[in-house]
Amino acid sequence: MAKRRKKRKSYDLSHFKAVLSTGLRELERIILTAKEDDYETITRACNSLATLANSYRNLTESTDLLQRIEKLEEKINAEK
């Protein structure tokens, strides 16, 4: 008999922003404390940092747009 998958907890955008910002700080720490000759660790951390920063930017932009849309909808509904 197949195992049932647990339902994933649904998170809001502010939770994801907090997780991403924590990840950014951790990657920054890894890069700054890595030994100069540890090129593999530095390269992997830099690649991860770039990916995470891009995800953070997209999420921040989406969150901002969503908030603007909600405000506009409230304004339109109030005018009716």
**In the chain, domain spans:** 13-79
pLDDT the model gives residue 19: 86
pLDDT the model gives residue 2: 65
Q: Would you give the end-to-end CA distance of the chain in angstroms? A: 56
Taking 60 as the threshold, does the pLDDT of residue 59 lie above it?
yes
Helix, strand, coil percent values for the chain (each to nearest 5): 80, 0, 20
21 vs 27: CA distance, rounded Å: 10
pLDDT the model gives residue 23: 87
pLDDT the model gives residue 47: 93
Tokens standing for 27?
Answer: 């990657």
Tokens standing for 31?
Answer: 């890069």
Q: What is the pTM of this model?
A: 0.62
Q: Do residues 16 and 51 touch, judged by C-beta distance below 8 A?
A: no
Q: Do residues 73 and 48 touch, judged by C-beta distance below 8 A?
A: no
Percentage of the residues of the chain whose pLDDT score is greater than 90: 24
Taking 60 as the threshold, does the pLDDT of residue 1 lie above it?
no
